[in-house]
Amino acid sequence: MNVRRSYQLLVLPGDGIGPEVMREALRVLQWAGKHAGVDFTISQALVGGAAVDAYGTPIQDETVMQAQQADAVLFGSVGGPRWERLGFSLRPEIAILRLRKELGLFANLRPVILFDPLIEASTIKPEIIRGLDLVIVRECMGGLYFGEPRGIETMADGQRRGFNTETYSTNEIERVARVAFDLARRRQRRVCSVEKANVTESGLVWREVITALHEREFADVELRHMYADNCAMQLVRNPKQFDVIVTGNIFGDILSDLASMLTGSLGMLPSATIGVSRDGHFSPALYEPIHGSAPDIAGKGIANPMAQILSVAMMLRLSLGLLVEAEIVEKACVQALSSGSRTADLAAAGEEFLSTSEMGDAVLSELERTD
C-alpha cells in the first residue's frame, strides 16, 4: 500500500465522554501526521444527542456524505439519559447505525488484547488472561439490528407488542466470514464461528454458509462452531482458546463487551468498522472505542482516553497505511501503562489516578521520546 501525503479525515466526537477522549486522540493524531510527514485535513461535525439538540436529527445527511468522501472517520460515542425518551428515529444511536449502513461497513473488528501492565486490573485471575490476544469480528450491517419486519404494534386485546427480525443471507455471511478467515491467516489460523444454530434458522444458515465457504476457500484455517451462550461462558472460563471469533450483530455486541472486561476495562478497547478492501486498505472506514458515552462520568475529565487513542492507531494502520506510526502509538500506550499511568477505571481502590488529559500527556511524552 502506498502512503499518500495528505488525507481527508472526519472527526465525530459525539456525546458524553466522547469529546473529552477525542481531544487526547487528536493530539496523538497530530503527532502521527508530523512524524510521518503527511497532512491531515480534519473536519468535525456533531452527531448523536449533540446533533439532536442542534439540528433535530442524530446525524445530518451532509455529515453522512462527508463520511463517504473521507479517507476515514474517527468516531467518539453517542447517547445519554437526556435523549433516552426520544422516539426511535431521533435516538442518538441512529448516528452510528446509519454510518455503518450507508458507508457499507459490514465488519466490526474488535481486538481484545491484555496489556501486561494491566493484568491486575482485570477481575479474572492472571493465569487465565496472561498473553490474551483475540479478535472479535462482528457483522454489523444486518441481523437483529436491521432485519425486517420490525416495529411496535397494539394487539387486539390492547397489549403492545415490539418485534424485530434476525435475518442473515448467504452474501452477508460470506463477506464477513472472509474478513475473519483472512485475518486468521495473518494470526494463528483459527476461527470460531458463533451463532445459535440450535434454536434459530438464521443461525443454521450462518453455520451452513460458513462451513461451505471454509471448505471451498479456507481449508488451511481451522474452523470451529460454537453456540453463543457457550461462547460467553468459554470467554470467561478459558479465553485463550480463541484466536478469531466471527459472529452476527447482536451476539457480537454482547460478547465484545464481555470480552473487554477480560482486559481490565471497557475503556481500553478500540475498534475498526470496515467494508471491502481496496488494494489492502479500507476506505471509507470508521474507528471508534467500544465503550459508550459513559454519562455517569461525562464532564468530570476522568475518562480513559486509551480506547480512542488506540482507535487512532487502528485507523493509521488499516486506512492510511501508516504502519510505523500505528505501532509507535500502540507501544507508547503500553509504555505509559508500564510506567504506572492509570485513569480511574484502571486504578486500584484508594490509588491515585490521572485525569483524561494527564493520561493524554503520558502517551504524548512517550511518543515524543521516540522522535
Q: In this chain, which of 139, 253, 330, 366 binds Mn ion, going by CB under 5 A?
A: 253
Q: Shortest approach of Mn ion to residue 364 CB, angstroms? A: 29
The three cell numbers locating residue 291: 465503550
Catalytic residue of the set 145, 168, 243, 345 = 145
196 is catalytic: yes
Distance CA 248, CA 244 (A): 13
Which residue is closest to Mn ion by CB?
A: 253
182 is catalytic: no
229 is catalytic: yes
Q: Binding partner of residue 64 among ligand IPM, Mn ion, none, CB under 5 to 8 Å per kind?
A: none
Largest CA distance in the chain: 71
> How far apart, in Å, are the Cα atoms of 199 and each of 110, 196, 204, 209, 228?
26, 6, 8, 17, 11
Q: Residues in the site for ligand IPM, rule: CB under 6 A?
A: 79, 93, 96-97, 253, 290
Identify which of 190, 232, 230, 236 has the alpha carbon closest to the alpha carbon of residue 214.
190
Q: Which is nearer to ligand IPM, 52 or 290 (CB)?
A: 290
Q: Which is nearer to ligand IPM, 309 or 328 (CB)?
A: 309
Site string for Mn ion, 204-243 (x = CB under 5 A): ----------------------------------------
Distance CA 338, CA 335 (A): 5
Q: Which is nearer to ligand IPM, 314 or 332 (CB)?
A: 314
345 is catalytic: no
Catalytic residue of the set 227, 257, 331, 361 = 257
Other residues' Cβ atoms within 10 Å of the Cβ of residue 298:
18
Q: Are 161 and 152 in contact (CB under 8 A)?
A: yes
Count, residues near Mn ion per rule CB under 5 A:
1
Residues contacting residue 46 through CB under 8 Å, at least 6 positions apart: 12, 54, 55, 63
Residues marked as catalytic? 145, 196, 229, 253, 257
Report the interface residues with Mn ion, using CB under 5 A.
253
